[in-house]
Structure 1
């Protein structure tokens, strides 16, 4: 079966639920091929996955408008969306999938991770693992196993608050990243922070201007890992994801685009 290229769009919808093939189950999100045709359902299938399903037409008179919205999404009218699901009173009444989405694969959170990171910090403060004053302390003060003598200049300017607001100031060129990634053992725990802080360019007022990137999230989550009992992964699971009912999740086990 042929698949759509990244800049081709099908105008048709299929009635076949888009399940991931065995090969697709192991792919990164960005490697997934586009669906040959988008899928929509106003009466989602019962899949014994814990979700209660219902019928869109029994909830709203705007069924046709919602279907038209799906058609517009498929054509790229509103940007590059991969799915649209509607839940009403804890019942899934509409689901649609486009592009790289599959019904049985978790969706990569991309930039939503930044909002989740802020939520985790807030929960850590509520639980007493951090204080509001901690937001303005040097980030390195939360770690005990670092070698400050190897840091680039200005590291003390990085606070938890600046990292949370995309103003950490870390800059690492691609050639240096390639060298760092040759030693994956140095990309775990506080060794990861050490690698970042000794290979960045100097931290200055200029470098700490707002700059979108996931290195700031890395810095923040390493702080969480250092201050909460059991580490960040368990804390996120028990204090956020479990309470949201998110039970289909994966955590990255390797560093690939961690410095982008």
Structure 2
């Protein structure tokens, strides 16, 4: 057994492993299986030689909600299989969360290995069901729950330190900034590795976002003053962007 992590596996070998996993799922869950699909880079055909396998196994609805994962390394490759009852995955697909643009791609176009009742069409309908108001609520949540906190931490660092936290904080600004841009445009990112460059191709980006995003992508996060200036500019752009699009950062002094 390989004990030094992933090794090169061809696309055809990886798909064959997916089929073997599906066959084992049928042995374990038998007639309770509603659908089996592959998601991630394998489903898109963009998997590299060291990519892992991501699948979900949808079970018929029952009195007990099922929602757990098998995740393991077989030595040369790694796999994760999410086992969910139909109602659980449909509810998840219809929910807009902070990372919607990154996490919800699988619900729109999985690679079907087993789907005799056309469940994946129902899953896509659920994923397409959220309203604009639900996206707005998610955006408001990021603006207050993450971005407002980040700018406070940045200003604390400017006064008290530690400066060693600045590079990570800049990356957080950009990651959540990309989620805001994706949610605003209701667009999905293809993979975590492409979140930032794909976000830069979307319209209606807040002023200052491009600068901090390109700074993070460059990997040059050693200059304290440059990071602080870029984050402050982005925050100012966010405030203006939120006002323009009727998103909410500030509320009543005590809103309850």
Same-fold call, TM > 0.5? no
TM, length-normalised to structure 1: 0.24
Higher strand share: 2
TM, length-normalised to structure 2: 0.24
